[in-house]
Amino acid sequence: MNEIIKVENLVKRYKELIALDHFSLTVKEGEIVGLLGPNGSGKSTTINCILSLLDYDSGTVEVFGKEMSPKAYDIKSKIGIVPQEVSVYEEFTVYENIDFFCGLYIPDKKERAKLVDEAIEFVGLKDFVKFKPKKLSGGLLRRLNIACGIAHKPKLIFFDEPTVAVDPQSRNNILEGIEKLREGGATIVYTSHYMEEVEQLCDRVIIMDKGQAIASGTVDELKAMIKKSELIRIEVIGLDEEVIDKIRELKNIYTVSYDDNVLKVEAGSGKHNVVDIIGILQDKGYKLRKVFSEQPSLNDVFLELTGKELRDE
């Protein structure tokens, strides 16, 4: 697959602050790549540098195989941006907003009218074309925001937190729409704080912190990077400390706790963790009520790699 984005050793400083510290990134044609990181990790700076909206101190940025620059209009015409903040004109109707943003790239009125109609159909706003933004619900506003960013049929689309503060139905509609855009040939860079969305959508994920890419790979590859790869919960009554200590001695076991008749065990990678624990309990004559085994989530990976302390906006 062709490389749609190629960023190498990008450095961006704000006086003493290093926002990007030799950051590198590749995005291949047809991929949905998730860009994750705590507040202040450098995600927005990265996107703004790729789009040539920010100068940077050193490094290179290529998009569609060409060097990106503020005046690279041939490249920018192939890019769509769906920002986190809804960015539409309150005095325009739904149709007029989409037509305006599409018109920034498509001067021909006949062609533009066709594209606007297709965008309206795509996001499901056919019944709202004459509405102004203040009359739309949060979910409909998000869909309008998307339509304005993709009406000109861009080949590369940046989605920045597109499902913030929307209801589950609208979120599902937006995620399905993003999948359809990829199926139609678009390459997508996606940022979100909703880890389940990233797991659902993204082919690869890059986790950023302090201006660097600290981990990258598929969701499964990222999960394999952390030591705690299985959480086991077993409901069992009257467990004594001797048995708990015996479980702690098993291979791959990191933490063991017992509270309210629930045994919780965090274990590393292993095919027989549950079987070994159950074997010890049954040998001691304990009757088990329920047994649960959970693999780590992307959220677990994120917290282990970036830490749990709160970050400033």
| 212 part of a folded domain | yes
In a domain, 308, yes or no: no
Name the residue with tokens 């159909």.
Answer: 121
Residue 165 — pLDDT band, cuts 50, 70, 90?
Answer: confident
Query: What pTM does this model have?
Result: 0.87
Report phi then psi at 255, rounded to 5: -140, 145
Q: Would you tell me how many other CB atoms lie within 10 Å of the CB of residue 78? A: 18
The whole domain housing 205 covers 3-223
Per-residue pLDDT tens for 27-80? 999 999 999 999 889 999 999 999 999 999 999 999 999 999 999 999 999 999
* DSSP H helical ranges for the chain: 43-50, 73-76, 94-103, 109-123, 138-150, 168-183, 195-201, 219-223, 241-248, 273-283, 298-306
> Which pLDDT score, from 0 to 100, does residue 224 have?
83
End-to-end CA distance of the chain: 36
CB atoms within 10 A of CB 66: 11
- pLDDT grade, residue 269 (50/70/90)? confident
Is residue 313, in this structure, part of any structural domain at all?
no
As for how many domains the chain has, the answer is: 2
Q: pLDDT tens, 182-220?
A: 999 999 999 998 999 999 999 999 999 999 999 999 999
CA distance 210 to 42: 7
- Residue 269 belongs to domain with CATH number: 3.30.70.100
Whether 212 and 234 map to the same domain: the answer is no
- Domain identity same for 202 and 277: no
pLDDT of residue 312: 58
Q: What's the CATH code of the domain at 192?
A: 3.40.50.300
pLDDT at residue 271 in the model: 79
Question: Three-state SS for 79?
Answer: strand
Query: Are 137 and 62 members of one domain?
Result: yes
Say how far residue 221 (Cα) sits from the centre of its chain. 16
Please check whether residue 211 is in contact with residue 59, taking contact to mean a CB–CB distance below 8 angstroms: no
Contact 244, 301 (CB under 8 A): no
Reported as a single tens digit per residue, the pLDDT across 275-308 is: 999 999 999 999 999 999 988 889 989 988 898 6
CA distance 4 to 187: 8
Banded pLDDT at 311 (limits 50, 70, 90): low
User: For the residues 16-28, what does the mean pLDDT come to?
Assistant: 96
- As given in the structure block, the two tokens for residue 104 are 């920034």
Residue 112 within a domain: yes
Look at residue 300 and tell me if it is in a domain.
no
The arithmetic mean of pLDDT across residues 142-167, rounded, is 95
Phi, psi of 258 (to 5 degrees): -140, 120
Residue after which a domain boundary falls, among 166, 189, 223: 223
Q: Kindly state whether residues 32 and 145 are assigned to the same domain.
A: yes
| Residues 91-139 pLDDT 10s | 999 999 999 999 999 999 999 999 999 999 999 999 999 999 999 999 9
The pLDDT of residue 185: 95
Co-location of 94 and 178 in the same domain: yes
Q: Looking at residue 196, what is its pLDDT?
A: 92
Mean pLDDT of the chain: 94
* 30 belongs to a structural domain: yes
Q: Clarify whether residues 237 and 210 are in a common domain.
A: no
